[in-house]
Structure 1
Amino acid sequence: MSQKHRKLINDPDTLIEDLVAGMVSAHPDLICVEGDTGRAIVALNGPRDGKVGIVIGGGSGHEPAFAGYVGKGLADAAPLGNIFASPSPAQIMDAGFAADGGAGVLFLYGNYTGDVMNFGMAEEGLAEQGITARSFLVTDDIASAPPERASERRGIAGDFFVFKVAGAAADLGLSLDEVEQAAARANAATRTMGVALSACILPQTGRPNFDLPVGEMEIGMGIHGEPGIERGPAEGADAVVDRLLPPILEELACTAGDRVAVLVNGLGSTSLLELYLLHRRVAQLLEDRRITIHHSWVGEYCTSLDMEGASITLMKLDADLQAWLDHPCETPALRVGKPDVTRTARPRRHRDRVAQVAHSGDRTDLRTDGEVTPAEFRTMMQAGAEAIFGEVDRLCALDGEIGDGDHGVTMEIGWKAVMTAMDAADRDMTITDLCRVIADSFLSAVGASAGPLYASGFGAAGRAVSDRWALDTRALAAWLDGIAQGIAGRGGARPGDKTMLDAWMPAAEAAGVAASEGATLQDALIRARDAARHGANATAQMQSGKGRSQKLGQRSIGHVDPGAASAALLLAAWSDAL
């Protein structure tokens, strides 16, 4: 096993908390933290009554995005997720409450499954509090889907331009509809292509999140390490620009006389020397086409930890887009013009803390026949957590082949939170109560796509056995079916889409058949375990139909889905525990 790369971090478990503290200590005149989660970075001089609130966000590891763009004239707040993982709904709601000025809140983020689910749940939560919130998805990465499926594209460095335009429109007092329309115009006028020369190193594992041999480059790489559209020998600066720029110009239909804004963005470990060489060639090609550069930004604006590589982004300007781009702002990572820095302080906007998990009501009618008592259930969950903890590196490696390489870390974070919460939970909780604890723990701690999926799965599973104190074979089958149906309902995946559902659904079906045949609980769980393992292995021959790996098309074939693999691990551990 190769040695881990050293990182200047402390405890991986407090990595994001340390990041938040470092940002606020470096920019105390611009930003602060609000809310119970400790993850909402808020502009001191941003939110104000009567203004549309602008909330941008996503996973950490892309610094200065996203919190670096919080400030007067740009974003009012940004919730910070874990490394490469969406913030949780609670973290997003903290940012939404802070940004709300009574005119509505616009969430802006890249088009990723986890972000869509978590921000969507936050919209629902704010609506319950009387706050109108909407989402706008940035889709600038032309390598991630063809033009006819542009709505499926990822949001990468083009976030920079879309956020800037939306922030300016809101700062000028436009309505929520108008701000959303401004963001849509910016997104339609923005295109990006990127190239990677190396993998990035995940801080928690100290290892690359995918394999890219020295001397090769990946064209169209995503900012989480997602594979692109082509891999080949590394080329020089001019040759790389000659690959990246023409597709951008073609999609934007740029012609002589047009004006554009240019972003040459480093992915974390690319020197400014190299970035300026790239810009030199961009400027040459644009001049040859008699296209005018209104303004350029060269540097690190949306990174991928310490990845070597760069992206090129163009925004085709009209009069409004240019004016919004030039509108003054002041944030930790970007200053344009001289904004009015008159303090507009107002009382902090609090939200009630999430209520503690309530115990089930009258328990006198709960059925007690069955081998899995709440105590046995706790033992099963502990065994599942330990199985995940022992396979973090393998799960990350599986994810690195078709995704962003963090699935093992994500599951570890989730199950650590579950174990902490269950240790603190009353010993007389029912299995339904404990399922609520698990669901809330995943939703609060993980974010990403696993957070909402497992929260929905365990929530549905608990409801499926709400009439029971202990589980017999039929109740166990109903509980497993609840997990599968909850995950399917939240994520919209189907068997065959190469997701965790390809393990959970066969497991639930196998347990159901076993129960109908009068099998013992142990036999039903063994059948579920075997079906999950078979289902997970079968994903290697599937083409991905959901999530980040969907963008890979046939390149996803030949790799086991990490979500299905972790599901099979859990079921195997639960079976062994009984």
Structure 2
Amino acid sequence: MTEDIRTKKLINAPDDIISQAIEGMLSAHPDLLTVEGATRRAVVAKDGPRDGKVGIIIGGGSGHEPAFAGYVGRGLADAAAVGNVFASPSPEQIVDAARAADGGAGVLFAYGNYTGDVMNFDMAAEECESIGIPALSIPVTDDVASAPKGRENERRGIAGDFFVFKIAGAAAEVGYDLDACFGAAKRANQNCRSMGVALTACSLPQTGKLNFEIGHDEMEVGMGVHGEPGMRRGKLETADEVTNELVELTLADMPLTSGDEVAVLVNGLGATSLLELYIIHRQVAKILSDRGVGIHYSWVGEYCTSLEMAGASVTFLKLDDELKRLLDTPCRTASLTVAGALETKGVHTKRNHDTAQADVRVDRSTLATDGSITPELFRTMMLRVADQIRENRDWLSELDGVIGDGDHGVTMDIGWSAVRKVISEPLDNTITETSHLIAKTFLDAVGASSGPLYASAFQYAGTAVSDRLNLDTKALAAWIEGICIGIQSRGGAQIGDKTMIDAWAPAVTKAQEAQIAGADMLGCLDAACAGARDGRDYSATIESRRGRSAKLGERSIGHVDPGAASTVVVLEAMKSALQVSS
């Protein structure tokens, strides 16, 4: 970034923002909301779940308020899983919400279509099935700017969440079964389109820095709610000109003809006044009227924000008789009320979802003890990784701000800080056990895409060396390979996709080559670092094909993938700790 602009926020400690925001929300709406589960991230409707009703679980990253917890309440969502800023909730946080909302009829997960959310909600659905809660998922895909027509399943979810959540909640409220709730939500998603424009950047609370650059006289048409670049950047135009473009792009994707009827949402992104939003709605209403399209109902205000970003989005929900009926079904939440009588709730019986987990200890007498990396040295290496991620946090987030949502460094630091806490004291663990502990810790702490990816990475890596107490060079190379395989098994990325695999894969190759050539432990790690650096630099030369930056096309060329950059940080930290111990 060319300028080091520091922003101001009314917060206390950045690490406490989510817990304190939830506490404030509960104190503001004690009649509506409570929190349940060990993670303390499941915000639950006091008057929502009941026996025989499908539980509606929504969720996503914080920073989009009132989404998502603001839509928890009677007739809408039964619970919301609250993630860190711009980061998906973890599977355990989602499962806490599912347990609280389960009424014996299954649960429906609804969330924006982002890599991290998809992975975390998929893992939560798998866990729900294992404890006897049937689960279906509907990822919202309303953003016209994020993928062309014909590839709607690749689109991200933005303010259209509002309508899909409302339809799903109403379907459950009136007694639809799980499949029917899914069907109604799916049809709402298929009939929902959004386009947005951003005028200014936002800043993450942990960094206090703007997460992208935009000129004072510029706008970005099609920008996502995490600051992902949109379809084009140009000079700021008048409200009517901007609205015309947003609506024209939307209607080109979802034609509306005379006699059609829609619900309209004109949504502010966090720092746009109602004065401006009503001016936008004025033009939206004129365009629709000229086409003979009726507006059944409009909402104007902040419903899905992006911290303090200035800008707005326009969303249309094309209505049929059923969608109109469900849209009009009464609900009562902190941020959305549809007037009307709510029927007597009925009872909610808390179900027992406990599963017995045996504490299996390894027979160390069967493990290989040759090799210089002992369990204690491995712990020291992981602590060094945590320190180096913290030191490079802002740099990694700046890299991510250019082609993503600007939170990679923050997210990695949250995960590794949690790891530091659980391994800060000496452990009576094998390297496999410590790797598996790191996997669970990372997953529980982070969510986002990094949580499932690094959880799978450390799970596979630990299993790859489960026959050893100490690591020799061959086992070290196998451990690094396990990291790479674990990431690929969960995320599916390949070399050339512009992800962390572009660094991990060559690190594996170079480590294996060094080991076969007879290098010592330090030589193997040095080779892995060299391979990772080559892969990191290579990532800057290619277009992104996965994740949020995949929408950029050629605009992603010239920028290093932040995941590849953090891979280098991890391996070089391990090498540094090994050097000190030698």
Scaled to the shorter chain, the TM-score interval is over 0.9
**C-alpha distance in structure 1 between counterparts of 2:316 and 2:345, whole Å:** 34
Residue 60 of structure 1, aligned match among 39, 62, 66: 62
Kept after mapping to 1: 8 A contact 2:197/2:311: yes
- 1:250 Cα shift? 2.6
Is the 8 Å Cα contact of residues 370 and 470 (structure 1) preserved in structure 2?
A: yes
- After superposition, the Cα gap between the structure-2 partners of 1:339 and 1:562, relative to the gap in structure 1 and judged at 3 Å, is farther
Displacement of 1:2 in angstroms is 2.8
* Residue 524 of structure 1: aligned partner: 524
Amino acid at match of 1:27: H
What is the aligned partner in structure 1 of residue 565 from structure 2? Answer: 565
Matches of 2:15 and 2:302, distance apart in 1: 26
Shift of 1:515: 1.3
For residue 252 of structure 1, report the CA deviation from its aligned partner. Answer: 2.0
Which range is displaced more, 327-336 or 551-560?
A: 551-560
Q: Shift of the alpha carbon at 1:350?
A: 5.7
In the aligned structure 2, how far is the partner of 1:94 from the partner of 1:167? 19
Task: State the partner residue of 2:398.
Answer: 397
- 1:214-272 Cα offsets, whole Å, 9 max, x none, are 11000000001100010000111000011000122232220111111100000000000
Partner of 1:540: 540
Q: 1:250 aligns with which of 249, 252, 268?
A: 252
Look up the match of 2:364.
Answer: 363
Residue 386 of structure 2 corresponds to which residue in structure 1?
385
Contact 2:131-2:354 at 8 Å conserved across structures: no
Matches within 5 A, 1:295-314: 295-314=297-316
Q: What is the TM-score normalised by the length of structure 2?
A: 0.97
Partner of 1:444: 444
Of 171, 174, 180, which residue of structure 2 is paired with 1:172?
174
Question: Residues 265 and 300 of structure 1 are in contact (CA less than 8 Å); yes or no, is this contact kept in structure 2?
Answer: yes
Asked if structure 1 preserves the Cα contact closer than 8 Å seen for 2:50 and 2:348, the reply is: yes
Given candidates 277, 280, 292, the residue that maps to 1:278 is 280
Is 248-257 or 392-401 further displaced after alignment? 248-257
* Structure 2 residues not aligned, in runs of 5+: none
- Residue 205 of structure 2: aligned partner: 203
1:327-373 per-residue CA deviation (whole Å, 9 max, x = no partner) reads 000000000012426454534446449969x5642110211111111
- 1:69 Cα deviation after fit: 0.4
1:45·1:342 contact (CA, 8 Å) conserved in 2?
no
> Unpaired runs of 5+ in structure 1?
none
Residue type of the partner of 2:53?
K
1:325-336 alignment to 2 at 5 Å?
A: 325-336=327-338
Letter in 1 for 2:208: G
One-letter amino acid of the structure 1 residue matched with residue 243 of structure 2: V
Counterpart of 2:418 in structure 1 is: 417
Q: 1:89 maps to which residue? A: 91
After superposing the two structures, state which structure 1 stretch, 370-379 or 112-121, moved more. 370-379
Supply the distance in 2 between the matched residues of 1:352 and 1:130 (Cα, whole angstroms): 10
Displacement after TM superposition at 1:462 (Å): 0.4
Deviations 1:276-328 (A, max 9, x none): 00000001111111111110000000000010000000011111111111000
- The match for 1:461 is 461
Any idea what the Cα deviations from partners look like across 1:123-174, whole Å, max 9, x if unmatched? 1111110110111111000000001111100000001011111111111101
Contact 1:67 1:80 in 2 (8 A): yes
Report the residue type matching 2:150 in the other structure: E
CA distance in 2, matches of 1:489, 1:155: 25
| Correspondence for 2:51 among 45, 49, 52 | 49
Distance verdict in 2 for CA 1:561–1:355, change over 3 Å: farther
Which residue of structure 1 aligns with residue 21 of structure 2? Answer: 19
Matched, 1:229 2:231: yes
Q: Is the 8 A contact 1:35 1:351 kept in 2?
A: no
State the 1:458 CA deviation: 0.5
- Alpha-carbon distance in structure 2 between the residues aligned to 1:379 and 1:4: 34
Which of 130, 143, 146 does residue 144 from structure 1 map onto? 146
| Counterpart AA for 1:132 | P
Structure 1 CA distance, aligned partners of 2:436 and 2:360?
Answer: 10
Residues of 2 paired with 1:314 and 1:456: CA distance? 39
- The amino acid that maps onto 1:488 is Q
Q: Aligned-pair distance for 1:437?
A: 1.1
**For the Cα contact (< 8 Å) 2:419–2:438, is it kept in 1?**
yes
Please give the alpha-carbon distance, in whole angstroms, between the structure 2 residues aligned to 1:568 and 1:353. Answer: 39
Give the 5 Å matches for 1:60-139: 60-139=62-141
Structure 2 residue matching 1:242: 3-state secondary structure: helix
What secondary structure does 2:262 align onto? strand
Q: Are the equivalent residues in 2 in contact too, given 1:51–1:171 (CA < 8 A)?
A: yes
Q: Give me the whole-angstrom Cα distance separating, in 1, the residues matched to 2:120 and 2:185.
A: 20
Q: Which amino acid aligns with 1:536?
A: R
Q: Is the 8 A contact 1:330 1:339 kept in 2?
A: no
Question: One-letter code of the match for 2:436?
Answer: R
In 2, Cα distance between equivalents of 1:215 and 1:360: 63
Secondary structure of 1:59's partner? strand
Q: How many Å separate the matches in 2 of 1:259 and 1:4?
A: 45
Query: Over residues 394-452 of structure 1, what are the superposed CA-to-partner deviations in whole Å (9 max), with x where a residue is unaligned?
Result: 1111000110000010000000000101125x622110010011101110000000000
3-state SS of paired residue (1:295): strand
Query: Is 2:507 the partner of 1:507?
Result: yes
* Residue pair 1:359, 1:429 contacting (<8 A) in 2 also: no
CA drift at 1:375: 1.3
Q: Which amino acid aligns with 2:439?
A: A
Task: State the alpha-carbon separation in 1 of the partners of residues 85 and 104 from structure 2.
Answer: 32
CA distance in 2, matches of 1:22, 1:195: 30
TM-score (normalizing by structure 1): 0.98
Greater Cα offset, 87-96 or 8-17:
8-17
Identity %: 59
> Which stretch shows the higher mean deviation, 345-354 or 82-91?
345-354
Q: Aligned partners of 2:490 and 2:386: how far apart in 1?
A: 23
Work out whether residues 228 and 548 of structure 2, in 8 Å CA contact, stay in contact via their aligned partners in 1: yes
Q: Distance in 2 between matches of 1:135 and 1:210?
A: 32
Alignment partner of 2:405: what SS? coil
Secondary structure of 1:541's match? Answer: coil
CA contact (8 A) 1:196 1:308 kept: yes
Q: Secondary structure at the match of 1:146?
A: coil
Aligned residue identity for 2:65: E
Residue in structure 1 matched with residue 188 of structure 2 by the alignment:
186
Partner of 1:374: 375
User: Structure 1 residues 25 and 205 mapped into 2: Cα distance closer, same or farther (>3 Å)?
Assistant: same
Partner Cα distance (1:351, 1:68) in 2:
27
Give the counterpart letter for 1:541 in structure 2: T
Give the 3-state SS of the residue equivalent to 2:61 in structure 1: strand
CA contact (8 A) 1:372 1:471 kept: yes
Q: 2:480: which partner in 1?
A: 480
SS of aligned partner of 1:311? strand
What amino acid is the match of 2:286?
Q
Letter in 2 for 1:459: Q
Equivalent-residue separation in structure 1 for 2:71 and 2:563 (angstroms): 32
Mean Cα displacement is larger for which, 359-368 or 369-378?
A: 359-368
- SS, match of residue 81 in structure 2: strand
**Contact kept in structure 2, 1:359 and 1:433, CA below 8 Å:** no
Number of corresponding residues: 576
Question: Aligned with 1:101: secondary structure?
Answer: coil
Q: For 1:483-494, what aligned pairs fall within 5 Å after superposition? A: 483-494=483-494
Map Cα deviations across residues 475-498 of structure 1 (whole Å, 9 max, x no partner): 000000000000000001001100
Tell me if structure 1 keeps the 8 A contact 2:103–2:348: no
Deviation of the 1:518 alpha carbon:
1.6
Amino acid at match of 1:82: N
- Conservation of the 8 A alpha-carbon contact between 1:108 and 1:138: yes
Q: Distance in 1 between matches of 2:393 and 2:184?
A: 42
Distance 1:354 1:389 in 2: 36
Give the superposition deviation at 1:454.
0.3
Whichever residue aligns with residue 440 of structure 1, its letter is K
Question: CA 1:575/1:47 → structure 2, altered by over 3 Å: closer, same or farther?
Answer: same
